[in-house]
Each structure stands twice: as C-alpha cells, then as structure tokens.
Structure 1
Amino acid sequence: MPLVSMTRLARVTAAAGSAVVLATALAACGSSSADSGSSTSQSLPIGLNGSVAYSFNPYDQSSLSDLEDPAYDTLIHYVDGELKPWLATSWDFKDPTTLELKLRNGVTFTDGTTFDAEAVRANFQYAIDNKANYGSLIFLQNVSGMTVVDPTTLDVTLSTPNPALPYDLSQNAGYMVSPKALQNPDGLKQAPVGTGPYVLDTAATRAGVSYSFKRNPDYWAAKENVFPYDTVTFTLQGDPNAAKNAAASGQVKALTVQPGTTIPGFTTVTSNSGNQSGFSGAWVDVTGTALKAMGDQRVRQALNYAIDRAKIAKAVYQDAAVAVPLVPVTKDSPAWSEQLGSMYPYDPDKAKQLLAEAGYPDGFELTMISLPPADQFAQAIAGQLQQVGVKVNIESHTSDLVQAVQSGTRPTGLLLSSLTGDFGQDMANLFSSTAFYNVHQADDPQLDALLKQAAQETDENARNHLYQQAAQRGADDAWFLGTVQLQTITAFDPKVVKVEPPDRGAIHLYDYHLPS
C-alpha cells in the first residue's frame, strides 16, 4: 500500500502529510542516448502518483515539495548526513535562542528581486502570519523576532531553544520565495518565483497533468554542477501501477515503489527519507470533542493494547516498516528505553478490562478518516479493534481529505508525519497544540516542559534521559493508534540514474545524479 506524506495537501497527496496518501512515484528518464545506456542524459522525467493541481506557493498545504525543488533553493543543503552552505553561507547560535544567518551575496529571484536578509525575513514572516504549521514549517511558529543586521546577516530570535532549526532550513522551512511574489499569492499558485536551478516552462505545462521545468539561464550556482539535467518534467499518474508500468516500459527510470515491487533491471534502495517515510498510524482527538470516549486516556490505551503493531507492519508494509510504541522512537534513538519498548504489548484482554473501567464494557462505534490507497492499513486496525468490541467505520476521502481532518468532526484518522531525525522536533511536530492533526489544539504541559528542558540541556546524557522521559510520557498519553515507522523504497535504473537518498528528510532533486 503506497503512501505519500501529507506534507502538503494535508501532507495528503504528498505528511497518509503529515496523513496517508498516494505514493509519490519519483522517476528519472533519460534521452535517447540515456536509453541506450549512456550517462549523458540531460532530461529527467519524474512520475508523481496523483491527479490534482498543486500550488507553487510552498506555504500552502496544497503545494508539493517535489514540484518546489526545481524552482526554489533552500537556505541550506543536507548532503551525506551534514548541513552544507547554499543560500546561507553560514549559521551560528549566538545563544540558545538566537540564530545568526549569513547569506550569499549577488543572488536574485527570477522576477529580478534581490535575495538578501530582508527577503529571508519576509519569507519567515509570511509563514508565521499565514500559520503554515505543517512539516518543518511548524518550527517557524517558534520565531519570536527577527533583526536584519545588514543585507547579508539576519538574526532570528526563538521563543524557546531549537538546536535543530538549521536542519529545518534544509527542508520545507528553507525554501526561499520572492517577497514580491508573496504579495500576490494567487499568482504564486500558478507559477513559482524562486532563485532555483529551473523555471517553469508554462508552454509545456498542463496543470494537474504534467509540469515541465527548464534551466534557469541566470542561476547563481550553475557552475556547481549540482543539477545536471537540462529539463525536468513531472507527470501525474493515476495510480501506482501506472508508475510501475511506465518503468517496465522504459518511460520511467526511477520511482518510489511499494514493498515487494520488483522491476527487471532496476536497483532498489530503502531509506528513512522521502515522501513515504515517517511516523504512521492514526491520530486521535484526545479532547473528546468529536467522540467523548476518546477523551478518556484509558480508552485510548485500551485501543492500543488491542492492536498488534508488529503484525500490521509485516502484513501491510512487509520489510519497509518498524513497529514503534506510539511515539517515533526506534531502538537506535537516544529516546529509547526498555520501559518504552515494553509498553502496549498486544493484549486484547487488557484492552477489554480498560474499556470496562472507562464505562464501555460493550465497546462503542467510531469513524476513522482514510484515503483509498491506505484503506488496507485502516482495515487492519479496524479488524483488530473489532475484536474488543469497537466498531470502526472507515470513511475514505480524496481531494477533501484536508477539510475532513481539519473540520474536527471525526475522532480519528490515518496519518503519516515526516520525521526530522531530531527527537525533540519530531515530538513537537506531533504533540504541539499547533500540530496539523491536533485539530482541537490539545496540549500536554508535562510533555512540553520535558521537551523544553531537553532543548536547553547541554549535557548529552542528561538530555537523553529527558528525551526518554518525554517519550514515555507521550506514549502513556496515547494520542496515536497502531503506529509504525515507515521507510521509502526507491527503485531506479542504474544505467541511467543514480539515486542517493539522505538518511532523513526529503529526497531532494540534488540527490538524483547521472551515473558515474
């Protein structure tokens, strides 16, 4: 069952966006010379699984990072596990809540606007004013002030420490848009205005069908040879089978595939990065607004005892998922503890006991939001809950998924939340009162205090101990159901393209290379 992080369109079409959605089929296809085995291809056709028109405003939830990468540079690049200068030449925390950014001089947006400290400030302020609170953009809500020191220096003041902010600036939060274009957001929906290596070829683009990009003739980093393709084209395909068929017929040379997929002549790489990777399960309205029962912690805990996470991970995702105890923590995380690992073993009798204690000895009925490609996952959860008396009505949505989630009228729904790899950030992205799936803005002061204390702690052992306490607190609160940590499987033809995914975050356009 393919998923795409509902990172934008609810992190739906792209975060199962933060939510469950269609799988992004990244594809790289060569020119005629590449088809004959040459590595001189200068075209990169990419197939995306979907059938909607996307916005080119990266602060809209209906945008998609795959379509942003060609036109928008990020402030920082994340390569080989390290942060590297790009539009920002350096970054330094002057104190725990003040980040100094030094910016590249001599760069202009494609509309002629100068890229400088004021442009970065305008981007951050736009995200804050428009409450762009999904993906890494949520952490811009932590910005309490900005000072333009000079044209190439910006000081960013945070309300609470966030040592992982520079990493965020290599992801969604780091895309830089022309401030002039931000003043006309309707126009920005139709065409991007950035400093990136490509510009939209409007004559060759059909919104909702295919998007074609050609080289930016004035690209400031053209000599860096980071983007070797002359053209990049994204074609929306109706379903994952269409993407696989395109690869099998030679039209597609790289794509994200579901577990168990084999394509003759293709190599696969499994990564913790990409649109399919992240923390997946079901979010719960812990306030009980949509369904009173869900406001009872014992009920939420009972539902988790009723779910065999390891069985679901194996049955639905095969080798591309790891069962986790309600928080995004695996055994290699500093937040892992044996106590955390022992929480919520599969125990239907314990589930029935807790339901009875909460006043629901005969169970109850609930509605779960899903999306057609993710229904297998939803049905697996529903089948196990049925065994303890909880009837789940699966309600599938497509283009209206964002509205359904944000309406606050359903008590639970599927999700896929991308992970930064920083435990404090990943927990805040799930448990913050402004988190996308926290539709009724619940909060947990004890958890918030632990995360804040950890961010300020300089001793690694002490910080990890706080992380462990926070992980246990989050799991005990049981805001999520049936959780697993997903990975992305990318298949590619090694004669034509080499895909080198990072260890976390997005698989960016600069991670696609000509074969060496």
Structure 2
Amino acid sequence: MMFTNLKSTWKRLLAMSMLAATTVAAPAADLRIGIKSEVTAADPHVLAPSNRNVWLHVYDTLVGQDATLRAVPRLARGWRAIDATTWEFVLRPNVTFHDGSPLTAEDVKASIDRAKNLSGPRTYRTYLQDVDSVVVADPLKVHIKTKEPSPALPDNISLIAIIPKSKAQADEDAFSRGDAAVGSGPYRFSEWARGERVVLVRNDKYWGAREPWDKVVFQFIPKEPARASALLSDAVDLIDGTHAGMADAFASSGRVTQASTPSYWLNYLGTDQHRTSSPHVSDVNGRALPANPFQNLKVRQAIHLAINREAIARHVMKGDAVPTAQIVPAGFFGHDAALVAPAGDLAKARALLVEAGYPQGFKVTLHCPNDRYLNDAKVCEAIGQMLTQAGLKMAVQAMPYSVLLSRVAAAEPDVSLYMLGIGAVTGDSLAPLRAVVQSYDKKKGQGANNYGRYSHAEIDQLIDKAATAMNPAERENLQRSAARLVAQDLGIIPVHHLKSSWALRKGLTITPRADGFTFATDVRDASVK
C-alpha cells in the first residue's frame, strides 16, 4: 500500500499514546503481535502469505528457511539427492504431534500428497509440479521422486506443512474449529476469531528449544496508523509493515525501536521488446516510429543510467528500499555481489540516446500501479522525471494493480514501458529468472510474467541448465552467469528491493526476515536472561 505525508497523523498518535501510557501491559510471558494481513484460511495447505506466517508456528515443515530464506533442517535432519530424480529426506526421531502421535514418513507422504492434490485456486500445486511420487522408505525416511531433475525441490518443500496422516482428509471447517489443527510446531492452535485474531499457546513437548512465550496473539490490524497507535498505547508488543513515516513518532515516544531488512520483493521496469511497433511509443511529434526503440540495447542502457536509484531510495522511499541491479538481494541463492546498481548519469543517458538514433528523444508512456507496492505511483513519477531529464518525452499513468495487470497480461500487452514487482519467495533466483526473464513459452510454463516478451538464447540455456543442475555450486554459478547477462542486456531494468520493517517496544529484539514474516520464535526479551 502507499502512504503519504503522515506527520500530522503521527503527532496525534503520539499524543494518544502518552494518554494511554498507563495501560497495563500483558504479562511478560505473553507476546502480542499486530499484523497488517489477516488469516483467511485455517487449512495450512491453502496458499496465502498471511496464513503461512501464522500457521508455521503450529505446523512444521521438512525444510525450513533462515532469515535470508536459505534452506535449513527442520523435521528433516538431512536430505540428499540419491540419483538425478530422487531426493531422500531423513526425519528427526522422537518428534510428536500436538495430539501425542509420533511423526513418521507416512505423515510426510500424506501431507505432500494432500498439498499436491488439494482443490481450489490458492494451493501449493505449482511448487510441487515436479513431484512424481512420494515413497515411504522406512518409518523415518522418505523418497520424493521427481519427473525430471529438480534441484530446487528442498526449497519448494519448505513451503509444505506436515500434518498427521489421520488429518489428511479433514476439510477447512475442521481446521477452523481446531479439530484438525494438529501440527508438531513450537505452538499449538488455541483460537481463531475471523477478522480479529489468532491465539496460540506454547507446545511444551516441542522437539526444539523451549519457547519463552506462554501465549502468542496475532491481532489483525490492517491500517498502518491503527497498528502504530496500538503499539504506542501498549495494546500490542510489536507490529509489522512499518515505514519511514512512523520513525519520528516512534523516536519521540522513547519506547519503541525499529528493525528492517531488504526483502525478496523487487520492483523493476519491463519494456516491450517483442513488437516492431509498440503501442505507447511515438516520435516527439506523435508520429509512429519506424522501429521499436526498446529493441535497441543503447535505449535500454539510457533508461538504466537515467534512473538515480539512490535518490529514489533516499527521497521517495525515505530509506524503505535498497537500490539494486539484479533480481535477488544479498544473501539469496544466485545473488552476484559484483552486480552493483549504477549511479544515475544523465549525461551518459543522453549520449546513449543520441548513439541509438534518438537525438530528440521520443514519446513514451510509463504504466504503473498505484495500490500494490509502497510508494509505487511516487516512484514512477520520479522515474518519469528522470527519464524526461535524460531527453525522453514522458507520460506516467498510474492505475490500480488489477487494471495494470489486465493490460500487461493481455495476449497483446497494452503497454510499452511498465513497472511491476517479482519476489523470490524461496530465497532462490531461479523461479523469478524463469518467470520474468526466460523466453515466453506457455507449454513449458516459462516466462509466465515476461510481459515484454524479452528473449535471449544464451540466458535461456543458462536457466535451463540451472533448472536441472543437481550440484548446488554449479547451479549457483549458472544462475549468477544468467544474472550477469540479464544485467548486461537489460532484459529487465531493476530499480530496488523493498524493505521489510517492524517496530517493537523497547526491550524486545527481532531477527528481521527477508520474507517479512513475523515469527514469535525470532522475538526475544533482552531483559530476560
């Protein structure tokens, strides 16, 4: 969402918080979290980030994700590829579900089969499309057979909650009531009040380290000012989705700290590189051009260099974004540390346009969302101004994301230059490379979000090789090579990675996560030794 000029709002919130400062805080062993997105389903195999944020406390997974979304052991203490199309996962011994039943390979098979076959529009089937079968090798060993070599399978499996086999046939109502809400995670399901809160209680028989919180309450507070007010008045202990506009009010209160980290979410510019005549491009007098300028690398380079990413991050985003020249941030699989966002260089951008054959520039419309990403319309306006200074005749059209998506995803996209976002939800650059950079091929499921129809044979080959390379070092080198070629050829023009941010009452600490999830397991009271 986009937020503007909140200073007066924060002043009122601060005054309200001072009046409420005598509010009695919750017991130290309880943790109250204000989150912007409410849970929409209790079934852990129904796909929605807000659901997964909460239910990962209740349901464990075979493979976990650390703060930069790298794979780490969870219910599986280890895994390996035993051949090109078979992954073996060895389970931890002596793990029990909340109902006291032991975790076995049968439960894992039932869970993956259920997630793969669950009906409905929001499922994890896409992440399990490589899975051919799940075989129980012994009570604590599972073999997952894939249709072809699938090196990213452990990352994809990290998204799948493990439930008891006895609950595999349960419906949504059974999970909502709590009858089927049985996991092996550090917290147990206690209550779900739709649209209001989820209450969890500590699982004292958890296989891992004992959690300090007796009870965790996720309070759904969608509006940012209301979340800030709840924190400042001690109604909650921490909140997610904070932004730079809150900083002054929080600092003035003297009772709040903030934490942030670059997220997996990239904002980038896409260009129409498929058609010889693009619909929203003309010469400076409004006449059709003889060629599509975005098919000219020098034009793409001019746009790339005209964007002063540091200025956008500092003045438009107020520190809520990190300039970038590639799809994934530092720490992610496939990130290339040598690829650094260039400084804005208007003179070089103008020179490139002259070299490309456009000494007077040309007219073009930049299409953007105005309700999808933080400050999205403002960012587009800033980019439009920078491209104007470089010599282009710019128009910027901001619209609801749903409207923009219908235009870019049409059989003949009704855009020439656009801003969108893509996220590496598994911490791996492979999926977004396949989605926004690889040549569009509907039958193969490639280039699904490559709306500009960019195509580069060598990049396609690198991505294809990475998609079947079972050696992690080899695969990461292939993806880094693809990233370098994308940066050189500007298949897309990265702008910045948005930040994930939190605010906490003083005394609490949090490990910031690139997925923006707020885990009670990452929150600690520094005063408790």
Corresponding position of 1:389: 393
Task: Map Cα deviations across residues 437-459 of structure 1 (whole Å, 9 max, x no partner).
Answer: 44699876532421454573859
In structure 1, the residue matched to 2:266 is 279
CA distance in 2, matches of 1:443, 1:111: 53
- Residue 291 and residue 344 in structure 1: after superposition, are their counterparts in 2 closer, same or farther (change >3 A)? farther
Structure 1 residue 403, shift from structure 2 partner: 7.7
Instruction: Report the Cα distance in structure 2 between the residues aligned to 1:129 and 1:94, rounded to whole angstroms.
Output: 26
- The match for 1:471 is 483
1:258 pairs, out of 221, 229, 243, with: 243
Paired with 1:131 and 1:312, the residues of 2 have a C-alpha distance of 43
State the 1:41 CA deviation: 1.9
Superposition TM-score, scaled by structure 2 size:
0.69
In structure 2, the residue matched to 1:211 is: 197
Report the secondary structure of 1:155's partner residue. Answer: strand
Residue in 1 aligned with 2:350?
349
2 CA distance for matches of 1:253 and 1:405?
41
Distance 1:290 1:44 in 2: 58
Distance 1:148 1:403 in 2: 44
Give, in whole Å, the separation in 2 of the partners of 1:44 and 1:105: 30
Contact 1:325 1:343 in 2 (8 A): no
Tell me, yes or no, if the aligned pair for 1:259 and 1:320 is still in contact at 8 Å: yes
Q: Distance in 2 between matches of 1:453 and 1:510?
A: 37
How far has the Cα of 1:324 moved from its partner?
A: 1.6
Matched residue type, 1:378: C
Q: Answer yes or no: is 1:74 the counterpart of 2:76.
A: no
Are 2:495 and 1:483 equivalent residues in the alignment? yes
Counterpart among 135, 142, 156 of residue 154 in structure 1: 142
Q: Which moved more, 1:129-138 or 1:89-98?
A: 129-138
- State the match for 1:312 in structure 2: 312
Work out which of the residue numbers 225, 228, 235 in structure 2 matches 1:244. 228
Pairwise CA distance, 1:99: 2.0
CA-CA distance at 1:336 after TM superposition: 3.4
CA distance 1:224–1:106, change in 2 (3 Å): closer
Say which SS state the counterpart of residue 278 (structure 1) adopts.
strand
Contact 2:45 2:124 in 1 (8 A): no
Q: Does 2:458 align with 1:446?
A: yes
Q: Deviations over 1:142-175 (max 9, x none)?
A: 43443332343211234565556445544xx242
Structure 2 gaps, min length 5? 4-21, 282-291, 439-444
Indicate conservation of the 8 Å contact 1:102/1:153, yes or no.
yes
Letter in structure 2 aligned against 1:370: N
Distance 1:500 1:430 in 2: 30
Please report how far the alpha carbon of residue 48 of structure 1 lies from its aligned counterpart in structure 2 after TM superposition. Answer: 1.6
Which structure has the bigger radius of gyration?
A: 2
Aligned partners of 2:362 and 2:67: how far apart in 1?
53
C-alpha separation between the residues in 2 aligned to 1:286 and 1:56? 43
**Any idea what the Cα deviations from partners look like across 1:98-142, whole Å, max 9, x if unmatched?**
321122466666689975434433444455557999999855334
User: What is the alpha-carbon distance in structure 2 between the residues aligned to residue 148 and residue 306 of structure 1?
Assistant: 56
Q: Secondary structure at 1:487's aligned position in 2?
A: strand
**SS, match of residue 222 in structure 1:** coil
Aligned partner letter, 2:77: T
Q: What is the match of residue 7 of structure 1?
A: none
Deviations 1:241-266 (A, max 9, x none): 22222222222322232136142222
Matched-pair contact (CA < 8 Å) for 2:272–2:452: yes
Correspondence for 1:267 among 238, 252, 257:
257
> Which residue number in structure 2 is paired with residue 415 of structure 1?
421
Moved more, 483-492 or 187-196: 187-196
Letter in 2 for 1:175: A
Counterpart in 1 of 2:28?
Answer: 41
Q: Which residue of 2 aligns with 1:121?
A: 109
Residue deviations 1:179-219 (CA, integer Å, cap 9, x gap) = 676656654785673403445444xx4423x1222327xx5
Q: Write the distance in 2 (CA, Å) between the matches of 1:290 and 1:109.
A: 60
TM-score using structure 1 length: 0.71
Deviation string, structure 1 residues 214-243 (Cα, Å, up to 9, x no partner): 327xx5843745433233222222422222
Equivalent residue of 1:491, what SS?
strand
CA distance in 1, matches of 2:165, 2:357: 57
Question: Which 10-residue stretch deviates more, 294-303 or 322-331?
Answer: 294-303
> In structure 2, what is the Cα distance between the partners aligned to 1:236 and 1:446?
47
In 2: Cα distance, 1:305 partner to 1:422 partner: 27
Cα 1:514/1:112, change in 2 over 3 Å: same
| Equivalent position amino acid for 2:420 in 1 | L
Q: CA-atom RMSD, angstroms?
A: 4.9
Q: Which letter does structure 2 place at the counterpart of 1:269?
A: A
Q: CA deviation at 1:394?
A: 0.7
Structure 1's 330 and 376: CA in aligned 2 closer, same or farther, altered over 3 A?
same
Paired letter, 1:417: G
8 Å CA contact 2:454, 2:491 repeated in 1:
no
1:464–1:71 CA distance, 2 compared to 1 (3 A): closer
Deviations 1:3-43 (A, max 9, x none): 9xxxxxxxxxxxxxxxxxxxxxxxxxxxxxx98799x6232
Amino acid at match of 1:236: F
Q: CA deviation at 1:499?
A: 1.4
Q: Does 1:91 align with 2:79?
A: yes
| Structure 1 residues 187 and 225, CA gap change in structure 2 (3 angstroms) | same
CA distance in 1, matches of 2:362, 2:334: 40
- Counterpart residue type for residue 246 of structure 1: A
Measured at CA, do residues 43 and 427 of structure 1 come closer, stay the same or move farther in structure 2, by a change above 3 Å?
same
> Which has the larger displacement, 319-328 or 500-509?
500-509
Q: Residue 135 and residue 366 in structure 1: after superposition, are their counterparts in 2 closer, same or farther (change >3 A)?
A: farther
Q: Which runs of 5+ in 1 are unaligned?
A: 4-33
Deviation at 1:286, TM superposition (A): 6.0
The residue type equivalent to 2:62 in the other structure is: L
Q: Structure 1 vs Structure 2: percent identity of aligned residues?
A: 21
Tell me, yes or no, if the aligned pair for 1:144 and 1:159 is still in contact at 8 Å. yes
Q: For residues 345-399 of structure 1, what are the alpha-carbon distances to aligned partners after superposition, in whole Å with 9 as ceiling and x for unaligned?
A: 6554257558867xx963233532331653333333344445522422111248x
Q: Aligned ranges for residues 49-198 of structure 1 at < 5 Å?
A: 49-50=36-37, 54-64=40-50, 65-78=52-65, 85-95=73-83, 97-104=85-92, 115-128=103-116, 139-158=127-146, 163=151, 165-170=153-158, 173-177=159-163, 183=169, 186-187=172-173, 190=176, 193-195=181-183, 196-198=185-187
Return the alpha-carbon distance in structure 2 between the equivalents of residues 190 and 406 of structure 1: 35
Is the CA contact (8 Å cut-off) linking 1:434 and 1:441 kept in structure 2?
no
